[in-house]
Amino acid sequence: MDDSEIGGDEYQLRLESESDVISILTVHKSKGLEYPIVFLPSLSMTVGAKAKDFTYHRDDGELVVDLKEVATAGAKEKGKLEDGQEDARVLYVGLTRAASRCYLYHAPLRLSEDERPAAQTRIMRSWNASSEKTEEQEDPLKQSSSEIGETVSRWIDSHDLSKDVEYLSFSPTQAEVGGERGERTDDSSSPGELVAAQWKTNRGMPMGSIVSSFSGLVEQVDFDGRDLDAEPESDDRPEKSLVDEGLPPIFEFDAGAHAGTFMHDVFEHLEFSDPTSWDEFISKKLTDHHYEAEVWTDTIRGMVDQVIGAELEPGLVLSSLERKDRMEEMEFYFPVQPGFLPELATALPEGCLLRHYLDGVGKSEKHRIASDGYLKGLVDLIFRADGKHYVLDWKSNKLNGRPDGFGQAQIEREMLDHHYVLQYHLYVVATHRFLQSRLPDYSYEEHFGGVYYLFTRGMQVGSQSGIFRDLPDLSVIEALDQFLTQSK
């Protein structure tokens, strides 16, 4: 979805209102720009030290990608030299972005002999390079970052820069701020003085894991957007069968994850409102996914005609959607706490489909979130129609392999059996959060229209076959959201 319809005055207003906000960007992106105050927090850190490959240019100017294990000593030296030169360019660009003040941070890092010091570290080491060394004094070019910090203030004084440059050092022994945020552990500071909290050197940073399927949650569903068809995938590509001439050919098409990936690719990039482009587009996608285009183009085109032309609800047809009203493959992450999903059931209203699902799965450990982390997901499609936003997921499942197997009762059973009910409720939580952050006057009841799971093989124009729709109550979405973020 885009905002191309926003008027010029409104767009200009937005630019002006955002001109004073804090910008976070890479040094490369900042080239040519200027800011009143600049913070450079990480230029003393070396990147790529653990990479197995590196690049350099040969004498004839050709770029070479080499492996560290087999590269010659000369190639490694060229790679280090070019990396060092690039580091120096990045440091220069960063330092020259500030109009009034620049804060340069130097982390106390110890480098191994094989690691290349960052340009900032090399420059700071060079400040001592000309000093006389005693037998006890370590080579200044091999000093650690923490040892370098001790000499910075002396360098400032020796160059008479004390009026322009200030050096501050934070010691591991400095008292830490304790208690609630902003509360000091002692009263030694003056009332108006701010004291920063000190990071304890032995304190670890919590590394939340990525939760994408709750311990697998059977092999049928992943929240990262992959479509795992209910049918096992065959190693052999099927041929069109003439045994049952009354069976639509789409049921002869391949089943499994590969077929699901293909159909997702088709619908993700298809221009819904331009059927004249469909045949050529479908043929190309079939070839891309190693299907025989001359055999299957008409079959897939027939399925697409039914899906795009079917009325999802009165007045809502996918063929009427413009590209600006579609957001494909929306990826999301949000923090989750440990919890056991079936325990959520009692907090949900009677008759809620999510409660029905959770009651049905019982006490399966597959529904336990073992530790805190981040829930990752990928929504196939969020689209906008008549001011409302909808979640849509494409499903290529065959069900019973016949058109009469896609009625509402069969589809709901499929949704429950393969955990799609839990999947789409998580998608709605993510979409609800997204819309809250994007629409100034957002209201779930006013701006969210519901969820569609389209079982594409069984859809027919003029019928509700193959269409699953639900609009979860706001209380259900809020209960699930609160459970995920506050459970223990």
- Indicate the range of 85-99, 337-351, 418-432 predicted with least confidence: 337-351
Over the chain, what is the mean pLDDT? Answer: 80
Write the burial class of residue 341 (CB in 10 Å: 0-12 exposed, 13-18 middle, 19+ buried): buried
Identify which has the larger pLDDT, 421 or 5.
Answer: 421
470, HSE (Cβ side, Cα atoms, 13 Å): 24
* Whole-angstrom distance, CA of residue 49 vs CA of residue 111: 10
Q: Which helix (H) or strand (E) holds 125?
A: helix 119-126
* 210-486 CATH fold: Lambda Exonuclease; Chain A (3.90.320)
Q: Is pTM beyond 0.85 here?
A: no
pLDDT score of 183: 42
| Percent of the residues in the chain that have a pLDDT greater than 70, as a whole number | 73
Length of the chain: 488
pLDDT bin (cut points 50, 70, 90) of residue 237 is very low
Q: How far apart are CA 300 and CA 288, in angstroms?
A: 14
Q: What is the pLDDT of residues 162-186, one digit of tens each?
A: 888 888 876 555 554 444 444 444 5
| Amino acid identity at 267 | F
Determine phi and psi for 396, rounding to 5 degrees.
Answer: -105, 10
**310 with 460: CB under 8 angstroms?**
yes
Residue pair 303/286 in contact by the 8 Å Cβ criterion: no
| pLDDT exceeds cutoff 70 at 12 | no
Tens digit of pLDDT for each residue in 128-149?
A: 665 555 445 555 445 555 566 6
Q: Given this chain, do its domains 22-158 and 210-486 carry the same CATH topology?
A: no
The span from the CA of 295 to the CA of 298, in Å, is 8
Q: Band of the pLDDT at 29, cuts 50, 70, 90? A: confident
Regarding beta strands 311-313 and 209-211, do their DSSP bridges make them parallel or antiparallel, or are they unpaired? unpaired
Per-residue pLDDT tens digits for 91-107: 999 999 999 999 998 87
What confidence score (pLDDT) does residue 151 get?
76
Query: Which range among 19-23, 41-45, 282-286, 324-328 shows the weakest confidence by mean pLDDT?
Result: 19-23
Whether 56 contacts 48, CB under 8 Å? no
Give the residue-averaged pLDDT of 3-30.
63
Read out DSSP for 330-346? EEEEEEE--EEGGGGGG
Question: What's the whole-number mean pLDDT along residues 249-266?
Answer: 92
Helix extents (H) in 167-274: 257-269
Give the residue with greater pLDDT, 206 vs 214.
206
Q: Where are the domains of the chain?
A: 22-158, 210-486
Under the banding of pLDDT at 50, 70 and 90, the label for residue 371 is: confident
Topology of domain 22-158 in CATH is: Rossmann fold (3.40.50)
Sign of the dihedral through C-alpha 228, 1, 321, 299: negative
Q: What pLDDT, on the 0 to 100 scale, is given for residue 242?
A: 42
pLDDT of residue 127: 77
pLDDT in tens, 386-416: 999 999 999 999 998 899 999 999 999 999 9
Cα 59 to Cα 363: distance, rounded to the nearest angstrom = 66
